[in-house]
Amino acid sequence: MKNLVLLFALATAAGFTPQAIAAGAGSADVTPVADVTFSLRTEIADGALVFVGNGGSIKDVVNPELKVEEGAVVAITVVNADGAMHDIAVPEFGAQSDQIVGKGAATTIVFRATKGGTFEYVCTVPGHKAAGMFGKLIVGDVKAAVSTAKDISKNPMEVAEPVGDRAPKHINYDLVTTEVEGKLSDGSTYRYWTFDNTVPGPLLRVRQGDTVTINLTNAPDSVNIHSVDFHSVTGPGGGAAVTQVAPGQTKSFTFKALNPGLYVYHCATPMIAHHISNGMYGMMLVEPEGGLPEVDKEFYIMQGELYTAQKHGSSGLQEFSLDKLLDENPEHLMFNGSMDALTKTYSMEANVGETVRMFFGVGGPNLISSFHVIGEIFDRVYDLASLTSPPLTDVQTTVVPPGGATMVEFDVDYPGRYILVDHALSRAEKGLAGFLHVKGDADATIFETKEHIDAASGH
275 is in an annotated binding site: yes
226 is in an annotated binding site: yes
The residues with which 257 forms a beta bridge, in sequence order, are none
DSSP state of 86: B
Alpha helices in 14-103 (DSSP H): 18-25
The rounded distance, in Å, linking the Cα atoms of 341 and 183 is 10
Burial class (CB in 10 A: 0-12, 13-18, 19+), 413: middle
Amino acid at 26: G
332 is in an annotated binding site: no
Q: Give 372's contacts (C-beta < 8 A, 6+ positions apart).
A: 396, 397, 398, 420, 421, 422, 423
266 is in an annotated binding site: yes
Q: What H or E segment, with its residue span, contains residue 373? A: strand 369-374
The rounded distance, in Å, linking the Cα atoms of 297 and 115 is 48
Cβ 320 vs Cβ 307: under 8 Å:
yes
123 is in an annotated binding site: no
The rounded distance, in Å, linking the Cα atoms of 404 and 363 is 8
Q: Give 39's contacts (C-beta < 8 A, 6+ positions apart).
A: 53, 54, 55, 76, 77, 78, 79
- Report in angstroms the alpha-carbon separations of 407 from 202, 237, 288, 362: 17, 25, 14, 12
HSE of 56, CA atoms in CB hemisphere, 13 A: 11
Would you give the end-to-end CA distance of the chain in angstroms?
A: 28
Cβ 315 vs Cβ 187: under 8 Å:
yes
DSSP state of 426: G
Cite the annotated binding site for Cu cation by residue number.
Answer: 226, 231, 266-267, 275, 280, 423
Residue ranges at the known binding site = 226, 231, 266-267, 275, 280, 423
